[in-house]
Structure 1
């Protein structure tokens, strides 16, 4: 398979993703020019892309690591307006979101546990905007706002980016204030009532002060029609603002004050019925039988949801909301001291999350209310000093981080809950569970400090040895309290254990009061070693070893229960991940830099991988962290770009990723092996009766050797653009036609791979055509041009009833865009 991939990469190729018609031989807007890079660009035909991946400005081809660079104009022209969409351009980037809080951003299959809502663990992929760390991936769901460039750094980046970036980092650079007056505006309209407007203006206020203001607004009708509320849901409703002041009293000193605010207020994010799979629960306690029983108990009701997810119809009966606000302020100081450069980044960020969900995924009133609003404040301070010399380049720094998150959760049972969750006479009495309410109060405090550095020794003009290290300290403390009230508003207690068959026992089987206060701290030492050799001016080979860590986690959403229904306090904390990473790569440019071909191969081994464990019943914790013994991710990536002339450019990129649990002997079982009476504790787990109603269920499953969730083995993206000069309406410019697309092979959507949660592979194609000239661009576009049906993610509904719900991907959309700049 690897040989086949290499052949495909050589013939079809793959890229640093920048259509050459738009790439510029300069740093991102507002950054200091690189005289050497610009002069070099003028001597050859190809372009030079400047990045800050190593916290200093240099060309992308000189950086000895796997990096994808996406310029702002490429983001706009391809319609990939946030990180969730960006994965269509970067194959090894995987982003999954069921709502902004429950978003996973992974690189090479690693990063965060898939499908888990928790604040007690760290992201394995760091998201940085203008050097400011964004600790919550909710930022990934917002529109890019006045972005100059996005760098996707693949592989551990702990020595410079820190905060447990064991899988990689996403480094976003925005356009900066300028002392030349300039502005830009963009308006897009399309089907589904799609409207997007962007504007930015920049210029001097005095000889030493410049300002920049940007705004972006996006709205679009939803893609799922809710027959219960009689409206479309899962809509887009985004607004973003950014303001910057640059004080530059001299060429050696610049101080930038930045502030931003973004909000979303859509009705979302709901799911639709996808399928039903048999579990080991008694057949009369599985989805179809339970729906039939509820219909029989309610004459004339006849609940029957659409069973074709691509009908784009759902019937969720609970309130849906995804109110999301995020923003903050930062102060960045760059001071050129002659011998070196000093940088200080001071930042505060907030996140306010106000969700409402339908947790039972149906139009039945089982869970009538589910919400976990939270508020976050984070503060960070980073100091860096860098110096470049003839033989030695180095960066040293200090980083401090403080965070607090407060959450107030409510979950309530509805009128159909008794018949859905209980048996016998109690199932016929709606009052047993109706109104039963669990109210959660929790907070998390997180503190981190680090000393880091990286040094490059140019042994010869061709050979460079680079090494980096980071000492990191993390402390986490949390608090979780759940109180439970019955339908009359009275507090209930489940200690001592209530009599079997009683109303109280039934209620305690759904919600139990609980209090926990996990706390822990850890030191870790991260280091890496890199050898790179320049065989020729445009041929660089490198080899890297990195020892990295992702710090400890705490289970912040409540703890699971032991077999005797007591709280398992041992699950309160999760061990740090220990990462060993190996990578080799080749970066080349050919044909006077008209062509770029980069190749990398990697292997990452992780001990104590922080994996997701899902609770199957309503009465247990939905998900919590546990350590898998060992995980391995390995693969090959290839990038190719070609610009034979000013009239044509093309790129393609691809990745083969083999990500597996090497050892996970006590994993949660998939739905087809869940729901029945548990096998004896001393018995060898029996997996032979998957999906057989009434069969005994293993207490846990050995999923060693199975694939990690969310990872496609094969992923490709491509694009091309052709243009021709033309004069239209007395305007000189270019008429152009562009196409881009991506392909992903199948992947599994459950933490323990299930036959019911396999997502089929799919390929998407987008096209655009337009006319551009000096200061303007007008084009039409079609995304998902062939109206391909595909699934974005699948979810296993709680209760082991066999229900699988999901979210279909966007249908074909089309529209037009007008852009002006001056």
Structure 2
């Protein structure tokens, strides 16, 4: 069975190979009819959904944890094939996506810290039980997915890496001993084209294999007025191969290897706002005009860039998972994994004049992990899971800035300070993380359970940050020399080390009032280790120790119910939560050096309510409605960056107090509604229709909470119609779909652009397309 092993970027599969695989046809058995997020409906009743949240198979409705489960079929039906679209299906989740490096996932408003090369995220991302150290490692097309679980709140006592906000657990379909093949093609507006294929089946009586591949491309939906080209499109492709060895019911060995690459103009930012006008002067507009730039309205999906906008991503990995069923029904699991990620950007300055030719940060990251778990048998008065975990990584980043002849005009520096100057910097960090964890459940009565969990993590990080002396430009003295040295001067941090011991804990009491009604209360504590900021930022003046970021600590309380009502036609889950985070890790913006930097932003409180429901009101119709109310604010953030309406004024303070302000990226209200209706015709054909609606209320766009960086509320609607039928021994499926049906212009995240202005990332425009699939 051909599998692409991990290796250097140049060793990836060629487009020709991928095209041949897709053309050959290849997934799974005929897709089931699971249209909703949390359960499958058959014969007008909701079926049991099995999860491995507590590291053993059990019904999702019996797990006393706030969670949402999305089946692979639901992802396909709703046309959700990117991690950044997941927020349209589940409550309390926000994905701040620009491109593979500048991306982050937050749950309940916690975790908005993109581009933190020296720090892991507050939300843990797992792919087939392997922790992904970079959020960008999950930025590929979601193909051949079995199930996706979203767990809210600290999850350190069972999952490999310590997290404070939650976990997204992605499981792909395993090799099958029954032949499965599938081929799918989609076309749409703006040059969108995607093909996917899977082939699975037995190789011997004890060995099965699976291989899946995809290729996606689009022209983009943002027009560059400078040269007439489309931006925000590009190409992605990938392949995943698997082997499953199962000589008996007591042992299985699953090997997975995958490779993904991207060459696109993702992350094209449009002008959102030019910022404040102070004493009759708008600094962004006046400096742009002085440099000869022409600004365009970003809300019309236009930019005016004289340089290239491009990102390339090469990534891959391999994992080996073994499961043994031991004597007395104990289960031993071992997961070994290695992954690598290589990211290179090319970013324009947002202007049609050469203030900057190119700026950005490239990253090369390698990670390896080992997990061993022992699960006791169930059915007695006490059951438990215990284990050990190791995670190691080696990351290098390279920051670069190539200034053009208009750099001083745009940056407001003395003549000659930055014009035609180039600056290069490097950062390096090595991480070794060790953990022991255990969680046990006492069945105090047939209906009352008490669960306790504990985790201890010890982590070592060693790092350094250097910046070379600037090159190019004219010889300067005085104010120009000082400005050049401040922005691009040589710097060496020396060796930076950090040692962290972080405990995590869980106490949970659950009671089954009836077989279909579960109530629970939870107290949990989670800690995420500190990190190192790998951007020079203000370190030359504040000192190298300012690059060290402290531990993030979360205390969380939950009170919830899970119910199945109306003869298993209605599933209704709801919970209240209250979380306080001390030492909250986030990004701030250094307006002088124009770089994001990592910091501990004091204390944050997140509190609210979440509801998730699925209803089958009549045969063939399934409705899902979920939502959340979340009030997340800084309890204390007294040394925060100032908004430009403050910092650009004469005599502005060095810092501001954001205590009481809303945390960046956190919408107070999130509502999602999804529906799927299918029926049977006399000739055996199955028509179906789907509709979805996703609403997010206003959110703060950047950490300084400027009045000029507020993301407006928005709602997005998607629709599709389709028809299924049998052909031979297979099933065909054709559909017509419309995403963002009412062509809503909305922003998913904002970015500080310098001179008090802000740029934004636009959500996808209205796209009409069609998909054809054949399973056989």
Same-fold call, TM > 0.5? yes
Residue 508 of structure 1 pairs with residue 485 of structure 2? yes
Question: 1:779, CA displacement in angstroms?
Answer: 1.1
SS at match of 2:487: coil
Question: 1:443, CA displacement in angstroms?
Answer: 1.1
Residue 484 of structure 1 pairs with residue 439 of structure 2? no
Partner of residue 364 from structure 1, selected from 353, 361, 367 = 353
Residue 610 of structure 1 pairs with residue 565 of structure 2? no
Residue 404 of structure 1 pairs with residue 381 of structure 2? no
Native 8 Å contact 1:673 1:697 kept in 2: yes
Matches of 2:460 and 2:363 in 1, distance apart?
21
Matches of 2:32 and 2:560 in 1, distance apart?
23
Q: Which residue of 1 aligns with 2:290?
A: 293
Q: Which residue of 1 aligns with 2:385?
A: 395
SS at match of 2:73: helix
Q: Which residue of 2 aligns with 1:792?
A: 748
Matches within 5 A, 1:35-434: 45-113=45-113, 116-278=114-276, 286-295=283-292, 303-307=293-297, 309-338=298-327, 339-358=329-348, 360-387=349-376, 388-422=378-412, 426-427=414-415, 431-434=416-419
Q: Which residue of 1 aligns with 2:597?
A: 624
Native 8 Å contact 2:191 2:220 kept in 1: no
Native 8 Å contact 2:276 2:282 kept in 1: no
Matches of 1:306 and 1:218 in 2, distance apart?
30
Native 8 Å contact 1:531 1:542 kept in 2: yes
Q: Which residue of 2 aligns with 1:33?
A: none
Q: Which residue of 2 aligns with 1:691?
A: none
Q: Which residue of 2 aligns with 1:804?
A: 758
Question: 1:806, CA displacement in angstroms?
Answer: 1.3
Question: 1:97, CA displacement in angstroms?
Answer: 1.4
Matches of 2:474 and 2:64 in 1, distance apart?
62
Structure 2, unaligned runs of 5 or more:
1-30
Q: Which residue of 2 aligns with 1:705?
A: 660
SS at match of 2:161: coil
SS at match of 2:507: strand
Q: 1:347-391 CA distances to partner (integer Å, 9 max, x unpaired)? A: 000001111112x32223222221322211100000011012322
Matches of 1:566 and 1:140 in 2, distance apart?
36
Partner of residue 690 from structure 2, selected from 710, 734, 738 = 738
Residue 587 of structure 1 pairs with residue 562 of structure 2? yes
Residue 660 of structure 1 pairs with residue 633 of structure 2? yes
Partner of residue 471 from structure 1, selected from 456, 459, 465 = 456
Q: Which residue of 1 aligns with 2:34?
A: 22
Q: Which residue of 2 aligns with 1:769?
A: 721
Q: Which residue of 2 aligns with 1:572?
A: 547
Q: 1:506-527 CA distances to partner (integer Å, 9 max, x unpaired)? A: 3224322111132111111111
Question: 1:238, CA displacement in angstroms?
Answer: 1.1
Q: 1:166-217 CA distances to partner (integer Å, 9 max, x unpaired)? A: 1110111100011111111211111111111111111111111110000111
Native 8 Å contact 2:37 2:68 kept in 1: no
Pair 1:723–1:145, CA change in 2 (3 A): closer
Matches of 2:345 and 2:474 in 1, distance apart?
23
Matches of 1:344 and 1:67 in 2, distance apart?
25
SS at match of 1:373: strand
Pair 1:464–1:547, CA change in 2 (3 A): same
Question: 1:420, CA displacement in angstroms?
Answer: 2.3
Q: Which residue of 1 aligns with 2:6?
A: none
Native 8 Å contact 2:44 2:616 kept in 1: no
Structure 1, unaligned runs of 5 or more:
1-18, 29-40, 296-302, 491-497, 677-694
Matches of 1:361 and 1:255 in 2, distance apart?
51
Q: Which residue of 2 aligns with 1:540?
A: 518
Question: 1:747, CA displacement in angstroms?
Answer: 0.5
Question: 1:268, CA displacement in angstroms?
Answer: 3.4
Question: 1:630, CA displacement in angstroms?
Answer: 1.1
Matches of 1:202 and 1:291 in 2, distance apart?
57
Q: 1:398-441 CA distances to partner (integer Å, 9 max, x unpaired)? A: 10011001122221211101222346xx53xxx54222111112
CA RMSD of aligned residues (A): 2.2
**Number of aligned residues:** 739
Residue 757 of structure 1 pairs with residue 769 of structure 2? no
Question: 1:804, CA displacement in angstroms?
Answer: 1.8
SS at match of 1:291: helix
Native 8 Å contact 1:597 1:638 kept in 2: yes
Question: 1:592, CA displacement in angstroms?
Answer: 1.6
Question: 1:589, CA displacement in angstroms?
Answer: 0.3
Matches within 5 A, 1:714-725: 714-725=669-680
Native 8 Å contact 1:279 1:673 kept in 2: no
Q: Which residue of 2 aligns with 1:457?
A: 442
SS at match of 2:513: strand
Pair 1:271–1:97, CA change in 2 (3 A): same
Matches of 2:44 and 2:138 in 1, distance apart?
37
SS at match of 1:726: coil
Native 8 Å contact 2:44 2:618 kept in 1: no
Question: 1:769, CA displacement in angstroms?
Answer: 0.8
TM-score by length of 1: 0.87
